[in-house]
Amino acid sequence: IKDQVTIYDEIIIEPNPGVRLPVWFKDMEAYGVRLITKVANEQNLWLIGYDNKIIEPTLMLNMLKKDKAIKFAEFNKKMFYDEHTV
């Protein structure tokens, strides 16, 4: 990896087993939380977006990390690879 850029308005989450995502998204609606895409078919990882005009990125990430419905949360990152290593 040559470089990486953090995308502060996108967060990768892994919900805990048994969490009903439609209900969770409804509960998070005040923050503009929306589904962008599923990250991997074989894993329960989802890319979400939110309105960073409503809540500051670090506060949003910390809130998700404390959320009992969420097992894992981290900012999305864009990776840049050295052309000789790909």
Whether the Cβ atoms of residue 20 and residue 30 lie closer than 8 Å to each other: no
Question: pTM of the entire structure?
Answer: 0.88
pLDDT at residue 53 in the model: 96
Radius of gyration, alpha carbons of the chain = 14
| Coil/strand/helix, residue 63 | helix
The position carrying tokens 């329960």 is 44
pLDDT digits (tens, 9 = 90+) for 5-34: 999 999 999 999 999 999 999 999 999 999
Q: Per-residue confidence at 40, pLDDT binned at 50, 70, 90?
A: confident
- pLDDT at 84 exceeding the cut of 90: no
- Helix, strand, coil abundance in the chain, percent, nearest 5: 25, 40, 35
pLDDT at residue 85 in the model: 54
CA distance readout (Å), 16 to 9, 29, 72? 22, 19, 8
